Structure 1
Amino acid sequence: MAIQSNPPFQLALISGPITLPVTRFYDQARLDGTLQATVTIKENTDLAILFTCSDPDARLYMDGLETLPQERLAEDSSGEAYLSPGPRPIRLFSYEDFPLIPGYYWIEVVLHGEHYFAPFQVEPKRLTNAQWEVMRQELTDELHNLALDLIRQSTGIGGDLHSTMPVELLHRFIVIRQHFPSVMSALNDLLRRANHRVRKSYQLIPYYRVREFDDKAVQYRMVRPDATESMLTPVPEVDYDLPENRWVKHILRVVSSCLGEFKTAIDDYIEFIQRQIDELQEMEMQPIAAAERREKQKLLTVLHEYADAATKMTKAIELVQQAPWYNSVGSTLPLQHPQALSFDVRYSALYRLYRRLRAETIEIALDDAYSYQWKRTDQLYELWCFVKLYRALAHPRIGFQP
């Protein structure tokens, strides 16, 4: 990544009373630990920018510009907001308005077809970078655990989750079950009417069956004048080996694998719960044991329903995999996504499910007001203290129950 100096414009960030010229630019935008911020400012300070250039067509892009009043901005053909050069500083963010949270941001200047990138860093004001990262990571882990709890509660399994039934498998099953009505409709249609094309192949057939011929057939006849009984003839052939059908094959393999892993795990979990029920049966005279046994029976019913649903979905997929066209489709994915994944409702239904399954983390939708990523450091600290206090009170030695 080249470093660009002496650009044909002037750029400076104004943080409170301090003016910080930006003089180091890169030709690519990448934050992988190899780049140093060109400018560092503190959190919760007013920030303005001074962008001057002799060419009025120069454009400055930056994270968060869309929050500024529209009269200060312009929009390019793609609808992205940018600033034009001017003689006076423009206030970007203020403490009372929307101060930038700690982290890295990019400034991009476009001039004469060239792109100039400059990363700058916002540092925590009351914490060190290491302390801020620790708090942010602990809150991230806490929200992840809360997401797992929500999944347990929404499925009726609650906290009684055995190690043989990983919650990630349960989450993927829930995702498949949520999408499966639309996926099943798509599969029923693809079973009978998958996308295809008619291509021309050539076969040697007897003369009396020849109905048409082309230049290639004539060329063959000239090369082989001794072939008096058969002739190379163009024959139309239905070809299902299209990029979107290869994606269908890949997605169905992924879904089948998820369902297979879930079915194996839930069968083991059913056996585990059944053994617990049998053990509680021997203590039937104890009221607590009787109540616990009833709860286990309810859980066992839910687990059997999940196992039956997984079996039915697996059989539906196997039905498509037995379609006449399925084995004629290759297994290697194309380098580019075919348009059918976006514009054909059948293929897009499968692709949406695939993207959800391939998500790296369990996604739980939270209200924007609770989005911890965009909190100021003081508010982040309050959330972190709240979590720590709750964990201390909920410790078994204290036994606090909310």
Structure 2
Amino acid sequence: MDIPSNLPFTVRFLAGRDGQSKPVNAFFTDESRLDNYPSPVQLRENSRLEVQFIADDDEARFYMDGLELLADKSVELDHTGTPYLEPSSRPYVLYTPSDEYYPYIPGFYRIKVVVQGQSYVTSIQIVPSRISVQQWEIMRDELEVEVRGLAQAIVRKNLSVGDSLEQYIPAEHLHRFLVIRQHFPTVMAALADLVEMVNYRIRTEYRLLPVERVKAIDEVTIRHRLTHPDYVDTLKAPVRDVDYNLPENQWIARIVSTVRTYLDDVIRSLDSYRDYIQSELNEQLLFAEDRRQTSGESAVIRGHRMVLRELDLFAEHARKMLHSVQLVTRSTWYESVRQTRPSYVPHVLLQDPRYRALYRMYRDLHADNVQVKLDPAFAYQWKRTDLLYELWGFLKLCTAFSDGLSFVPKRGWIYDSAQTASEELFVPVLMPDTFIVLEKEEVRVHLVYNATLPSRASQTNLEVTPMHMPGGFHNRPDARIDVFHRNVYCGSVMMDFKYRHKSWFWNPNPRPAKRPPATNQLISYSNDSKSSWLLGGYLPPSLREQMRPVIEVWGVYPRNTDYPTKDDVEYDNTHNVRLVNLSPGVDNEHFIAELAHVLDKVLDFAAKARNSNA
């Protein structure tokens, strides 16, 4: 029987503050049917959750994904170390909102009940509370994709790869060229040394030589003479020779041959692409001449000329490297080394720094692409959705500045890494106090994640923490944007990522006691902030202390795409609070536009202060 009609046990979940009963009645005895059957019970995340398991069999056991994270002493372990619950008339508490852990993020959770030797299986589904299941999955996936994308962008920046080359030249050719170029200085130093001092061994061979040319004899010579007395004028004498055909040298020959082939491919690709761009440029020049354009070259023509210059530089570098590598092939030992595929990696290849330099390049050349390794803390299992939304939102903030507003990341977080395409790029998790610096012309912004603001001016610092919160309350925004112009601190924007409906966290009632705590928190960010660094030398200290460095406060929240929505942005002039919708799986161009607007607002504020005190 697939779904028993009379179960010898009872399982029910008690959800929410009122303990709404959610009985689970659909179980399978055939576990293979479970994947094709929808979960009979759906429960919302972040709500109080209990489970009641009743059975007459005292040996009955209740298993469920996530029990291993519970601190409840009632959780037992079976002989395999798997946690389970025993039958009890009293419900077991799985989660309360005050718990530090959160074992049940959105997803499916398998349940197994064992009663009298028979197993019964089913599943329940935890669904998001503020967004759709699809949006939650998009947010989870986007977070990892965004992090990996940032890491790949760093690799391209470190290698100075232009978008034009990356777009038109085969990816494998470009990757190989960049790896060779990166390793080239150390590889050429190694090859220069190997040309003169390559490893070898003395090999002894026996040859029949005229007696007058024999320089040494040994046991083999004597034995041969005794067995061949008719050889009167010759002797089988030992001849010592230098043998370069060692495994490590076979590797060098193979690596050099591989590099020559790869550079030839790159040069052909560059030349082919150059011909294409040159033909496009010639057409544009003819068109411009026919139109008798005398107002200067068009942007298209200038762009083509710039690409041609870039191509010429890359091709020149590739030809120089090819020429340098070919010099090795003319050394006295190179021709005596067999061009065979080595069957193993000898220790010398890893121990001798000269050989190791070439082998590392060879190994990197045969890597499929850059390996981006995420910090294990990026594992999103068992992470509350509100924290997931906070991480996702901060990442969206970073990419909005870098991609949407064309700011260039300079340092902080993964931008402190000097790793390149030939290495495994490790991406650390976003920890509290993470600090990212981005620049665009004369403007510099500091993006700060989840950092505590000091309560006294003496604890502040222009570069790291240019403001303080005298009351010591509401001093840890999820994100902070510090804006500088010509190294002068112009003001800040604070953000909190609120994983809840707007009406649940924003109600600016005139009476603070009637407001939600989150509303007072956002208002406090704006009203209670101070800075002794604001506007630098533009203002006297006495006036500076009277001004608020936080120009705006943002409450960022998601919306469920399953339901209609109103405006994506709402602004409260009284408290300088901007409510901005930022949701997974939808167009968030308005978020970038609002960032551009508030950035101009901060810079205008600084300009007016400078002009009024000029």
Measured on the aligned residues, the alpha-carbon RMSD in Å equals 4.5
Amino acid in the other structure paired with 2:220: K
Q: 1:16 matched to which residue of 2?
A: 71
CA contact (8 A) 1:393 1:399 kept: no
Residue by residue, what CA displacement relative to the aligned partner does 1:319-363 show, whole Å, maximum 9, x if unpaired? Answer: 212322123223444444222222212111111212222222225
Aligned pairs for 1:205-284 (under 5 A) are: 205-281=209-285, 282-283=287-288
For residues 283 and 260 of structure 2, the distance between their equivalents in structure 1, rounded to whole angstroms, comes to 35
Q: What's the counterpart of residue 190 of structure 1?
A: 194
Q: Per the alignment, in what secondary structure is the counterpart of residue 332 of structure 2?
A: coil
What are the equivalent positions in structure 2 for 1:3-402 lying under 5 Å apart? 15-17=70-72, 18-21=75-78, 23=80, 141-142=145-146, 145-146=149-150, 149-150=153-154, 158-161=162-165, 164-281=168-285, 282-283=287-288, 285=293, 290-363=298-371, 372=378, 377=383, 378=385, 379=387, 392-393=586-587
Query: Which of structures 1 and 2 has the larger relative contact order (alpha carbons within 8 angstroms, sep 6+)?
Result: 1
User: Is the CA contact 2:190–2:354 (under 8 Å) kept in the aligned structure 1?
Assistant: yes
Q: Distance in 2 between matches of 1:376 and 1:217?
A: 79
2:277–2:308 Cα contact (<8 Å) kept: yes
Taking the aligned partners of 1:240 and 1:249, their CA distance within structure 2 comes to: 11
Partner of 1:68: none
Letter in 2 for 1:174: L
In structure 1, what is the Cα distance between the partners aligned to 2:334 and 2:83?
57
- Contact 1:170/1:262 (CA < 8 Å) preserved in 2? yes
Report SS of the residue matched to 1:211. coil
What letter corresponds to residue 587 of structure 2 in structure 1?
Answer: L
- Matches of 2:371 and 2:302, distance apart in 1: 32
**Which residue identity is paired with 1:307?**
A
Deviates more, 1:165-174 or 1:178-187: 165-174
Shift of 1:258: 2.2
Q: Is the 8 A contact 1:139 1:384 kept in 2?
A: yes
Query: Counterparts of 2:595 and 2:280 in 1: how far apart (Å)?
Result: 26
Give the distance between the partners of 1:269 and 1:401, measured in 2 at CA: 39
- Where structure 1 has 5 or more consecutive residues not aligned to the other structure, the ranges are 1-12, 25-37, 47-94, 102-123
Distance in 2 (alpha carbons) for counterparts of 1:39 and 1:235: 75
Q: Deviations over 1:351-382 (max 9, x none)?
A: 1212222222225699x69x845786445566
Q: Secondary structure at the match of 1:283?
A: helix
Contact between 2:208 and 2:237, CA under 8 Å: does it hold in 1?
yes
Deviation of 1:236 (Å)? 0.8
> Could you say if the C-alpha distance between residues 131 and 19 of structure 1 is closer, same or farther in structure 2, counting changes exceeding 3 Å?
farther
Q: Structure 1 CA distance, aligned partners of 2:250 and 2:389?
A: 49
Structure with the greater alpha carbon radius of gyration: 2
Q: CA deviation at 1:217?
A: 1.8
| Structure 1 pair 196–126 and aligned structure 2 pair: CA distance change class (3 A) | farther
Q: Structure 1 counterpart of 2:307, which letter?
A: L
Q: Secondary structure at the match of 1:160?
A: helix
Query: Match of 1:231, as an amino acid?
Result: L
Higher helix share: 1
Residues 353 and 287 of structure 1: is their aligned pair in 2 closer, same or farther, counting only changes over 3 Å? farther
Residue deviations 1:37-81, cap 9 Å, x none? x789xxxx99xxxxxxxxxxxxxxxxxxxxxxxxxxxxxxxxxxx
Structure 1 residue matching 2:163: 3-state secondary structure: coil
Which is further off, 248-257 or 285-294? 285-294
Q: Deviations over 1:124-171 (max 9, x none)?
A: 9879xx999987666555555555555665666643347541344223
Q: Is 1:393–1:400's contact at 8 Å kept on the other side of the alignment? A: no
Where 2:298 maps in the other structure, the secondary structure is helix
Name the CA distance, whole Å, in 1 between partners of 2:316 and 2:379: 40
Q: In 1, are the aligned partners of 2:224 and 2:236 still within 8 Å (CA)?
A: yes
Partners of 2:294 and 2:153 in 1: CA distance: 30
Taking a change above 3 Å as real, the CA distance of residues 376 and 268 of structure 1, as seen in their structure-2 partners, is farther
Q: Is 327-336 or 144-153 further displaced after alignment?
A: 144-153
Assess, with a 3 A threshold, how the Cα gap between structure 1 residues 156 and 352 changes in structure 2: closer, same or farther: closer
Deviation at 1:288, TM superposition (A): 9.1
Q: For residues 175 and 264 of structure 1, do their structure 2 counterparts lie closer, same or farther at Cα, with a shift above 3 Å needed?
A: same
Look up the equivalent residue of 1:328 and give its one-letter code: S
CA distance in 2, matches of 1:314, 1:286: 43
Unaligned runs of 5+ in 2: 1-67, 85-93, 106-124, 129-133, 397-581, 597-614
